[in-house]
Amino acid sequence: MYSLKTKLSFAIAMVVLITVALISFLANVFIEKQFNNYILRQQELKKNEIVSLLSQQYNKNTGTWNVDLIHSIGMSALYEGYIIKVYDVENNPIWDAQKHDMSLCAQVIHDISKRMEEKQPLVNGEFTSKTFQLTDGNETLGYVDISYFGPYFLSENDFKFLDALNIVLILIGVFSLLLSVLFGIILAKRISQPILKTVDVTKKIAGGNYNERINEKTKTKEIDILIKSINHLAFSLENQEALRKQLTEDVSHELRTPIAILQSHIEAMIDGVWEPTKERLASCNDEIKRIGSLVSDLEKLHNLDSENLELHKSEINLADIIHSAAKKFDVALKEKNLAISINGNCSEILADVDRISQVAINLISNAVKYSKEGGRIDINIFETNDSVGFNVTDNGIGIHENELPFIFERFYRADKSRNRNTGGSGLGLSIVKSIVEGHGGKISVKSKVDSGSSFEVILPKNKI
């Protein structure tokens, strides 16, 4: 298996290599083609120039040719690869490169043919001869045979130019390749480094170090998302761990008090310090009930954890549920001399009847518990286009705004000393919240110390 760094560097280098090779090849083909066309045009011009120069060497007045200049033109053409033979109008030879310097002509023919065969075999050319008229206006003065390597040929300098061009292209290619490998390595390192760091931290998190975080900065969007997700995961795990610890601590704390009371009472009775009177046994029973209700609350809470939440939905009427929930508090309401009003109605929704009853019971129970003697509780049922809901409002002791964000947490009891007397375990509202959210609904609270509290539950009218 290869590392990400190696793979990335290799991939980048390969892409650049292929690109550079392709560009170099296409540039080479294109430039060579253009250059050959240019040479072809140049050679046409050259032939026309030779013809025109030669035509000018005829003296009309004397009817003679300037053989010296024709010789110079012929020699200069010969050096450039054109072997010429000049005739007058009656086909009498005036100047012939072959005759003048046979070996030089052979040399020129040999050099050009060899060069072209070696370097441009695809041209597949050969020496050809073409006759041109030497004219002055419409008058024919003579003829010239021009032999050259056709369709075109490249001189030594032309080849040098092409070679230099190729070297430049190769150098550019090599340079780009080196540069790309270098950039590839740097880029791969920049991408792989945060990933490696992430892997490292993830391993630590998996090993139980939930407080580990990835602090690596990256400008790559996906890696940034990955880092954020892993940090979030670590944060959630850390929270879960803290909650688990808190839960164990809270449960043992909650159990310790009633168990200690029970133990001391029973020991006192066994030792004969106390008579097992009806009241003492009833007090022990109260403590046992306390433990029982705590265990049943814990059980409820466990069943309400999202993964365990199983809702048995049916068509329910919220108003009916609230009325029968309130009925359970008749005695408690009377004892505290509390007035209660239930108003409003709403259409039926699909929900778990037992669970929604539990919500209503817990909220009414709290309103009763935290109301002062002679207070009042108002329950209002309402409906909107896509939801139904109710609120339970009391004018009781209220909750301090600092405590409001925590009251839905497990075992949270605002003003703990005050609440121990009320007998609450601090689980009621977390149960309510789990049930409401399990139904896709929302719960909110408004409260003011000494003025009262209002809890509002909203449930969606889902038809599933």
> Which residues sit at the interface with ligand ADP, rule CB under 6 A?
366-367, 370, 394, 396-399, 407, 412-414, 419, 424-430, 453
Nearer to ligand ADP, 46 or 336 (CB): 336
Is the omega angle on the peptide bond into residue 460 within 30 degrees of 0, that is, cis?
A: no
Q: Find, among 119, 137, 157, the residue nearest to 60 by Cα.
A: 137
Q: Find, among 302, 454, 295, 464, the residue nearest to 389 by Cα.
A: 454
Nearer to ligand ADP, 153 or 412 (CB): 412
Nearer to ligand ADP, 234 or 399 (CB): 399
What is the sign, positive or negative, of the torsion defined by CA atoms of 265, 266, 267, 273?
A: positive
Q: How far is the CB of 433 from ligand ADP (least distance, A)?
A: 9
Q: Find, among 194, 191, 196, 201, the residue nearest to 231 by Cα.
A: 201
Nearer to ligand ADP, 9 or 454 (CB): 454
At 99, is the secondary structure helix, strand, or coil?
helix
Bridging pattern class, strands 339-343 and 376-383:
parallel
Nearer to ligand ADP, 9 or 447 (CB): 447
Q: How far is the CB of 399 from ligand ADP (least distance, A)?
A: 4
**How many alpha carbons lie under 13 Å from residue 225 in its C-beta half-sphere?**
2
> Which residues contact residue 100 at a Cβ distance below 8 angstroms, ignoring those fewer than 6 apart?
71, 74, 75
Q: How far is the CB of 448 from ligand ADP (least distance, A)?
A: 10
Rounded CA separation 62/64 (Å): 5
Nearer to ligand ADP, 168 or 339 (CB): 339
Rounded to 5 degrees, what are φ and ψ at 137? 65, -120
**Residue 159: Cβ-neighbour burial (10 angstroms; 0-12, 13-18, 19+):** middle
Rounded CA separation 391/338 (Å): 17
> Which residues is 144 bridged to in the sheet?
86, 132
Q: How far is the CB of 187 from ligand ADP (least distance, A)?
A: 54
Q: Give CA torsion, residues 98, 100, 105, 107, to 10 deg.
A: 140
Q: How far is the CB of 432 from ligand ADP (least distance, A)?
A: 7
Q: How far is the CB of 405 from ligand ADP (least distance, A)?
A: 11
What's the chain's length in residues? 464
Rounded CA separation 233/210 (Å): 9
In this chain, which residue has its C-beta nearest to ligand ADP?
424
Q: How far is the CB of 447 from ligand ADP (least distance, A)?
A: 6
> How distant is the alpha carbon of residue 8 from its chain centre?
17
Nearer to ligand ADP, 112 or 367 (CB): 367
Which helix (H) or strand (E) is 32 found in, with range?
Answer: helix 4-55
Nearer to ligand ADP, 389 or 428 (CB): 428
At 242, is the secondary structure helix, strand, or coil?
helix
Q: How far is the CB of 422 from ligand ADP (least distance, A)?
A: 7
Q: How far is the CB of 297 from ligand ADP (least distance, A)?
A: 8
Q: Which residue has the tokens 């200069």?
A: 76
Q: How far is the CB of 330 from ligand ADP (least distance, A)?
A: 19
Nearer to ligand ADP, 318 or 367 (CB): 367
Q: Find, among 304, 318, 275, the residue nearest to 326 by Cα.
A: 318
Nearer to ligand ADP, 119 or 336 (CB): 336
Q: How far is the CB of 429 from ligand ADP (least distance, A)?
A: 3
Is the omega angle on the peptide bond into residue 276 within 30 degrees of 0, that is, cis?
A: no
Rg (CA), the chain: 52
Nearer to ligand ADP, 112 or 359 (CB): 359
